[in-house]
Structure 1
Amino acid sequence: MAEPVAGAEPLPRQMRARLILALALLALGIWITHSFLPALIWAAVLAIAFMPLYERAVHRWPRFRKGAVLPAIFTLGIGLLVVIPVGLGLFRAIAEIRDLTSWFYLVRETGIPVPRWLYSLPIERDAAVTWWQQHLTTPEATQAELARFDQRRLLMHSQQIGKVLIHSSVIFAFTLIALFFVLRDSSLLVGQMRAASNRLFGPSGERIGRQVIQSVRGTIDGLVLVGLGEGAVMAVAYVLLGVPHPILLGIATAIAAMIPFGAAVMFEIAAFALLTQDSVTGAILVNVIGFAVVGIADHFIRPVLIGGATRLPFLWVLIGILGGVETLGLLGLFVGPATMAVLVMLWREFVERKSAPLVVEA
């Protein structure tokens, strides 16, 4: 009978110790970096989205393959794509806040006359006009209504908005830093991830990776590009119908349109702005054009772009988008559909796998 070698540790015990150590270090790493995980995921999403264009640039200028010039140019360009529209929107929003403040001071002194469109309401016209006359027509009534706003609560909300903007700016800056390194070391990262997935999951690992990439790119085509298209169409409609600040509202519509049915909120705001100008016909046309654009985009274009890229029924795409937004915010637009696409792929592989034949021994 063989004697155990002195000092030799049983292999299962070593494996358990390594697994416990690895899990503990992984948990510690997630705990340390959890505040920056959204930035890292955003960097991965942006890298997946722009990688085909980046690879074309690398093939076009091969001397920049290993340098930092091309990744820096791409990172700067992607950053400007976000900073310029957001900066213009914030600049315009500050101007709007100033105009709104001046309007508040004016109506406190003069009151708000009954708009003409209120007399055109098909139902409850007299009740609406009477309420307006009692609560907003005279300076005293207007001041009483404006006094309902709690200044402390408004100040608290303003401070919270400021904190959110500062935090978002920090996350965005770190996202760009991470994106630079992901682009610069993309070949090395892809090779390492492929080797790790093959070691952990076998052939299924690479299929999962391809499905995630296709899902992210399909979601970008179906949400971002279609949303920008909706915003452009509605911006033209806003200009033609005389909506105030049509370009700014068109940009806001494009951003809101990235979430299914989100554009409806923006063109309803545009319709209300037209009503305040006594343009009932314009308000109706904004609604007609808006619902037609949203209907075509959400029921025909998006299912083809997203579902075709991921082989995912649009119901699950919609659940992934809405559930992802509710859970992860804007990042959930891309993480949600990618997660659902991988789950549906694994489910199909499971149910389509042939069972091993049952062998009955005599």
Structure 2
Amino acid sequence: MQKNTPYILFLTFVLLVTVSFFLLIKDFLLACFWAIILAVVFDPVYRLFRQYFKSSEILALFLTMIMIILVFVIPLLTLTLMITEESTNYYLKIQGGEINPQVYFQNTIKLLLPKFNKLSHMQALTVEQISSSAGNAFAEAVKYIAQQVPSLTQNLLNLIVQFALTFYILFFLLRDGQHLIRKLNFLIPIGDGIETELFERFTSVARATVKGGLIVAVIQGSIGGFLFWFVGIPAAFLWGMLMIVLSLLPVGSALVWAPAAVILFLQGQTLKAVIVLTVGILVIGMIDNFLRPRLIGKDSKMSDYLVLVSTLGGLTWFSLTGFVLGPIIAALFITCWDIMGKESQVSKRKQGQSL
């Protein structure tokens, strides 16, 4: 008992130091997570550059980072600037009287109110009552947005810090990744190659999720942008870019094309509304329901329903990060139980042989 006391004290100290370390970096765990995911996804690209530029590791790292910026950063930055510009122009048009939301509310309500009062058993509502309520709600929304403006600077600074930290960590993960993997294999006390199997599973699912998500997002956003241009919706390119971002989430593109179909219908453009709704459900929706699970499930070796459920669960628990983290957790869960099953079978065979 006395011999074990120093070891127990040491383990306690290790546990305390580990918990303290995670508490220390908890505000930057998101940056660490995305640095790891990007390193896993782009490690094959870095290896390719490394083979081509055998004498220059720094050049291979530099080109890999440039590719990551071209694939992720520039599209997101462009979309953010476009949304900001469009929002500013819309706000200025409202301030200048070019766009009057109250008139839009009244026209929409006049169109729908007779049908609503006919179907509803409640007391008949008037255009003035609903317009007043809608106007008050709009005013409250504008007030809320105005109140959030002071915090935008702080949020922007935090975003810049997280972004810079992600790329700083990513640089070293790409450079020292293989050394870190060997060290983790040495430190994790599992043995029998289990840690290697878990890491390979993590790597395959991370790459499949990001690759599949990006392919689906680009396809859905491109179809959605062309659809909006075809029916004459203004700023079709902007809406297409927004659909690309939202399509990273399951049924995320529907947050754009479904309201567009409703607005077209309310404006009396029934044919255009039917076209948007039909293409949205039968084409864009089917891509989300069939192509996404197959792209991710094929490489990650998970069934379609498990990919969908784990993605939705990940989004519920971890927000946007969950679209990658959810399938990873599900894959590791399955792998751990598979390993336990194999170990159990080996143990039973050994017991049978000993008898």
1:17 Cα deviation after fit: 2.2
Partner of 1:167: 158
Partner Cα distance (1:111, 1:120) in 2? 14
Q: Report the CA distance shift for 1:64/1:190 in structure 2 as closer, same or farther (over 3 A).
A: farther
1:134 aligns with 2:128: yes
Asked if the contact 2:50–2:56 (Cα under 8 Å) also holds between the matched residues in 1, the reply is yes
Partner Cα distance (2:103, 2:15) in 1? 66
Partner of 1:42: 34
Partner of 1:94: 84
Cα RMSD of the aligned pairs, angstroms, is 3.4
Q: Report the CA distance shift for 1:249/1:108 in structure 2 as closer, same or farther (over 3 A).
A: closer
1:181 aligns with 2:175: no
Alignment of 1:215-294 (within 5 A): 215-272=205-262, 274-275=264-265, 278-294=268-284
Deviates more, 1:115-124 or 1:347-356: 115-124
1:79 Cα deviation after fit: 2.7
1:13 aligns with 2:5: yes
Q: Report the CA distance shift for 1:316/1:159 in structure 2 as closer, same or farther (over 3 A).
A: farther
1:338 Cα deviation after fit: 0.7
Q: Report the CA distance shift for 1:226/1:135 in structure 2 as closer, same or farther (over 3 A).
A: same
Q: Which letter maps to 1:210? A: E
SS at match of 1:200: coil
**Structure of higher CA gyration radius:** 1
Equivalenced residue count is 347
Alignment of 1:139-150 (within 5 A): 145=136, 148-149=139-140
Partner Cα distance (2:68, 2:7) in 1? 44
1:75 aligns with 2:69: no
1:194 Cα deviation after fit: 3.2
Kindly provide the CA deviation profile for residues 152-200 of structure 1, in whole angstroms up to 9, marking residues without a partner as x: 4332233445543432222111101111111122232233233334x43
User: Unpaired segments of 5 or more residues in structure 1?
Assistant: 1-8
Partner Cα distance (1:240, 1:48) in 2? 39
Partner of 1:156: 147
User: Unpaired segments of 5 or more residues in structure 2?
Assistant: none
Partner Cα distance (2:242, 2:126) in 1? 30
Q: Report the CA distance shift for 1:245/1:136 in structure 2 as closer, same or farther (over 3 A).
A: farther
Asked if the contact 1:223–1:302 (Cα under 8 Å) also holds between the matched residues in 2, the reply is yes
Q: TM-score normalized by structure 2?
A: 0.84
Asked if the contact 2:225–2:237 (Cα under 8 Å) also holds between the matched residues in 1, the reply is yes
1:61 aligns with 2:75: no
Partner Cα distance (1:275, 1:100) in 2? 22
Q: Which letter maps to 2:10? A: R
Q: Report the CA distance shift for 1:213/1:115 in structure 2 as closer, same or farther (over 3 A).
A: same
State, as a whole percentage, how many aligned pairs show the same letter. 21
Q: Which letter maps to 2:79? A: G
Partner Cα distance (1:122, 1:308) in 2? 51
Partner of 1:190: 181
Asked if the contact 1:212–1:342 (Cα under 8 Å) also holds between the matched residues in 2, the reply is yes
Deviates more, 1:348-357 or 1:223-232: 348-357
Partner Cα distance (1:117, 1:110) in 2? 10
SS at match of 1:286: helix
Partner Cα distance (1:242, 1:52) in 2? 42
Q: Report the CA distance shift for 1:201/1:122 in structure 2 as closer, same or farther (over 3 A).
A: farther
Q: TM-score normalized by structure 1?
A: 0.83
